[in-house]
């Protein structure tokens, strides 16, 4: 009796995603290594930001689906990662996201926006181990758009905050324009950062 030794061919799409994720991981590690050797504190901080951004983009590869990226699943994975990156012990990061497939043309931009908004909430809202909550929410709006919101009950906005805070918000607003989104920031019992967008409109 002959033994069936048929070998199933590897899925080329899955293999490509795996290779891409590995490349992102390597680039992130290199950026972190460079930050450790940077003599200037600001240069080190910027390199760490780049490393975190590369890591966030690499994670998208694990959540690709037909037509784009499962963005709710991506946020569920990244929420505890972002919390650990910023060393926040007392504040919790939660996700309430409806299932949404974001097209490749805007997934990377939304990932960077989420990273920046969550990082800002953790670093500036919960200093000195202040307890609290950061909520990442994805929901439908009555106007037909989708809403990505990062809400916190931290100390609120600091109008006289450092320049890097303003730079971070400039990045968010610039990225929001790339996906034709409307970004609003309000301060009431914490900070509400909200991006309204139409999936596929980029």
What do you get for the CA distance between the two ends of the chain, in Å? Answer: 59
Alpha helices in 38-103 (DSSP H): 41-60, 71-85
Q: pLDDT tens, 45-73? A: 777 788 888 888 888 888 988 889 999 99
**What is the per-residue pLDDT for 7?**
46
**Residues forming a β-bridge with 195:** 148, 183
Least confident of 54-58, 108-112, 123-127, 182-186: 123-127
Cα separation, 165 vs 59, in Å, equals 25
pTM over 0.85: no
Is 166 a residue whose pLDDT tops 70?
A: no
Sign (positive/negative) of CA torsion 19, 25, 26, 27? Answer: positive
151: pLDDT strictly greater than 90 = yes
Tokens of 147: 């809403």
Q: Which residues of 122-157 are buried (b: 16+ CB within 10 A; e: fewer)?
A: bbbbbeeeeebbbbbbbeeeeeeebbbbbbbbbbeb
């Amino acid at each position: 009796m002959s033994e069936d030794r048929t070998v199933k061919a590897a899925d080329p799409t899955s293999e490509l995603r795996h290779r891409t994720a590995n490349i992102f991981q390597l680039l992130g590690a290199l950026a972190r290594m460079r930050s450790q050797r940077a003599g200037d504190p600001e240069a080190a901080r910027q390199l760490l930001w780049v490393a975190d951004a590369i890591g966030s983009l690499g994670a998208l590869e694990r959540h690709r689906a037909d037509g784009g990226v499962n963005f709710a699943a991506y946020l569920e994975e990244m929420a505890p990662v972002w919390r650990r990156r910023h060393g926040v012990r007392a504040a919790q990061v939660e996700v309430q996201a409806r299932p949404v497939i974001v097209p490749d043309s805007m997934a990377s931009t939304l990932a960077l926006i989420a990273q920046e908004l969550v990082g800002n909430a953790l670093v500036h809202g919960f200093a000195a181990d202040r307890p609290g909550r950061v909520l990442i929410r994805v929901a439908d709006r009555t106007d037909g758009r989708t809403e990505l919101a990062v809400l916190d009950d931290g100390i609120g906005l600091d109008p006289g905050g450092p320049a890097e805070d303003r730079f971070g918000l400039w990045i968010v607003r610039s990225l929001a324009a790339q996906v034709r989104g409307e970004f609003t920031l309000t301060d009431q019992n914490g900070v509400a950062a909200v991006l309204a967008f139409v999936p596929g409109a980029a």
